[in-house]
Structure 1
Amino acid sequence: MPVEIDAQTQRCTLINDQQRLEGAACDIEIVTDERLRMSVAVLGAMHTPITEIEADALTVAGAVDSRRHLKNTAPGSII
């Protein structure tokens, strides 16, 4: 699981193959990566692919939700 959330302190840790980075939930932004077709948590320069369940948990903890839906009817959509 690439995300650890401490609900009491609202601090989160993002984990990937190379590093662990901790920060306040409000400092994390969740974006949609069109190439990966999934959500990514961004903290500083660290980008960690996450599940939608993890994305939802981060937003509940206070992360900024900048996700957008990818649609096959939108011009230029990759889906």
Structure 2
Amino acid sequence: MTVRIDKQTCFFTTENGEEIRLCTDVTIVTDAEKAMSAVDINGQHIYITEAEADALTVAGAKDGRRHLKATDSDSVI
């Protein structure tokens, strides 16, 4: 698991160690190329599971995910 949540604070495991953010300062996005959810930390995408994304939104993160459809030009389906 790349993210841990404790009292509206999230801890992300990155290549450079651990990044700590308030959940309210985090926005979850969709990487259409990889069809995965991610958060942007210091300009780097940290890929997370949908369960982690849902847990972050419950803790206060902004949900900027897009649902990809087979008819979208950037869909991998």
- 1:34 partner amino acid: A
Q: Which residue of 2 aligns with 1:26?
A: 24
Matched residues, number: 76
1:32-43 equivalent positions in 2, closer than 5 A: 32-43=30-41
Structure 2 segments unaligned to the other structure (5+ residues): none
Structure 1 segments unaligned to the other structure (5+ residues): none
RMSD: 1.4
1:1-79 equivalent positions in 2, closer than 5 A: 1-7=1-7, 10-74=8-72, 76-79=73-76
- TM-score, scaled relative to structure 1: 0.85
- 1:4 partner amino acid: R
Output one character per residue of 1:28-60: Cα deviation in whole Å (capped at 9) or x when no partner. 110000111100022343421000000000000
